Each structure stands twice: as structure tokens, then as C-alpha cells.
Amino acid sequence: MAGMPGMQGMPGIQGMGGMPGGMRGMPGGMRQQPEQPGVMPSGTPVCVYGLKGAAQHNGKTGQVESYDGQSERYVVDLGEGEQVRIRFDNLAQMIDVEVTGMQNRADLNGKGGRIAGYDEEKDRYHIDIQGVGRASLLLNNLILPANTRGKVVGLTSESGSKWNDKIGKLLSFDREAGRYLIQMTKDEQLRVKPQNLRL
């Protein structure tokens, strides 16, 4: 709950009652829940893509308001009072990234950028790179920050395959091993290569 006004004088308190700063408008505490590794937190900036039934929202940006675990959909505020309910698979997290592993454009390696969208057909992320402009890159060419949520895909081992299609929270990236450490549940962590991850 870091960064919530009024909490500085309450070390060790991470949860509920009496938090100043915007909690009063959440009846019954439904919206603000303890952070879960597999759920994007409220306030996460996102871009909508890949919707079929409500394609008019594709390309729009907004932020996560809350998560409905029963329908497995996020309530996303698109601004001007417009809210939509969208699955994880149709939201790209607009996060800061570092470019890496580019062979044909080695000058981009090490540069910072921000995800601005996703091309589902090409499986590439639109990145606004500082001082360069926009580029479309594979996830393999991006180093994602801690606290990003990612979906595990394509694991084939007996111990790993049970995590396919599950979402976890990225903790760190091991540059030498080329693997992310991901918190999958309160007690379980997983190490995966970038190609076994989807945002």
C-alpha cells in the first residue's frame, strides 16, 4: 500500500480501516483488496487491444479500477466517466521497459522506453523509446520491471506446465540466466524465460 497519503505514521499497517485518501468511496471495501500476485493492482495504466465484441475500445488507454475474481475481468476506467470490464488477455500494461538483445539495432540496447500498445497479429509491443521514437519489439527484447504482471505460457516440464495460463508478479530479472523470477502464489515462485511470458 506504499504511497498512500496518511500512512507514514503507521508502520506495519498494510490494510484496511481508517485509511485517508480515497478509500471512503469504496463501499464495503469491495474495490481495495490485499495485493494478489496474479492480479494487476488498482491504478495500473493499460491499453486495450483485441476486443471483438466491443472493438471500438481497442487502442484506448485507461487505468485499472478493480478486479472481479468471479468474472475474471478488470474494471478499467477509460476516462470521461467511461468504464469497461475486460480480461487480462485484452490489456497491455503501459510500463517502463529496457531494450535488450537487439542485433540489427544494437544502438537501441540499454535504452529506456514505455509500452504504448500491442500488435496481436505480430506478437509485438509498441514501445516509445526515449530519444528515438516508436518501435515494435518482441517481448524477448524487453526487460520488464518488478511488479509487472505476466501470464506464463508454453512450459512443457511436469513441474512447470501446471503454471501455464496462470498470472504472476515479476520480482526480478536475472540477466546472466535470462530468466524472470515470478511470484505465482503467496508461497510459490517460478523462473521463466521471456518467451514463456505474456503481458
Helix (H, G, I), strand (E, B) or coil at 76: strand
Q: Does 139 fall in a domain?
A: no
Averaged pLDDT of the chain: 87
Q: Does 113 fall in a domain?
A: no
Owning domain of residue 166: 144-199
For residues 52 and 150, give the distance between their C-alpha atoms in angstroms, rounded to a whole number: 22
Question: Which residue, 48, 147, 58, 60, is CA-closest to 97?
Answer: 147
In this predicted model, what pLDDT tens digit does every residue of 3-23 receive, in sequence order? 444 444 434 433 333 334 433
In this predicted model, what pLDDT tens digit does every residue of 142-178 receive, in sequence order? 999 999 999 999 999 999 999 999 999 999 999 999 9
Q: Does 69 fall in a domain?
A: yes
Helix (H, G, I), strand (E, B) or coil at 87: coil
**pLDDT at position 32:** 53
Rg (CA), the chain: 18
Q: Does 119 fall in a domain?
A: no
Q: What is the number of structural domains in the chain?
A: 2
Domain end position, chosen among 93, 117, 134:
93
In this predicted model, what pLDDT tens digit does every residue of 25-65 receive, in sequence order? 444 444 455 689 999 999 999 999 999 989 999 999 999 99
CATH number at residue 39: 2.30.30.70
CATH number at residue 190: 2.30.30
Q: Which residue has the cell 488498482?
A: 42
**pLDDT at position 86:** 97
